[in-house]
Amino acid sequence: MEPISSNRSIKGGIFNVAKSQYSPETRKIVNDLIQESRLTLQLRQRVHEALDRGEPLPVADARARPLPPTARRAQAPGHAQTYAALHLLPPRAARRPRHVIERSGAYERDTFLPRIPRVDRAKELARLQNIMTYGRSEPPMEKIVKTTKKKEEEVIDLPDDADMLDNLMEEIDERLKFLDEMKQLGEEKKYQQIIMSEITGKLRQIEKIDKAQNLSSENTTTTSPE
């Protein structure tokens, strides 16, 4: 039985680790990455020596810039391992705290400014009613006269009965025309109740004037000399 020579080495074990054999494809990809990157000449030489010896690739300096998009297109397991070993992965976006986001104004809402100014509905309704009643946007001024210290009377200059009847009939006619226009526009139901109530009020005023005229004519007839 021949003795084992001390010069012979057994592959494997703790003190004699088997070296990796990089495939030509992997070596080509690593060379392309090195050419496109901005690594120092010293680090490039160390990478080439590691590829020739089958040793793990050296860790890149922290100041080395990330690889171009060619590195991100690597899909094979060997490519990803080489890419991670060089510490050239793109940095992840850091999450900002809430107070930093609030101070940047991300939660502030823009003030809404309407293009068309808002209309006071009550004032607009009163203006339309005055136009329908008096023919203008504001009611006529009334003359008030104080007669005595104990009692105050409101004296209003009013037209005679004939003029009042003519005005009331014209206002009724205007309301009927307005209601007919709203009917053509499909808005009759919206204004019908208001217009009819106003016309009813005008008719009552006409009845009062007519009764007053009849009473005055009767009194004139009874008091006239025979």
- Identify whether residues 56 and 131 lie together within a single domain: no
> Is 99 a domain residue?
no
> Is 132 a domain residue?
yes
> Is 194 a domain residue?
yes
In the chain, the number of structural domains is: 2
94 band by pLDDT with thresholds 50, 70 and 90: confident
pLDDT of residue 131: 73
Predicted TM-score (pTM) of this structure: 0.29
Q: Which of 34, 69, 85 is the last residue of a domain?
A: 85
pLDDT of residue 75: 46
117 pLDDT above the threshold of 70: no
Helix residue ranges, H only, the chain: 24-36, 41-53, 69-72, 77-85, 98-103, 121-134, 161-184, 188-223
- Identify whether residues 45 and 128 lie together within a single domain: no
Q: Tally Cβ neighbours within 10 Å of residue 37.
A: 19
> Is 104 a domain residue?
no
d(CA 129, CA 178): 12
> Is 100 a domain residue?
no
The better pLDDT of the pair 191, 43 is held by 191
Residue-number span of the structural domain to which 31 is assigned: 24-85
Which among 33, 60, 36 is positioned nearest to 46, based on CA atoms?
60
Q: If you average pLDDT over residues 164-192, what whole number do you get?
A: 84
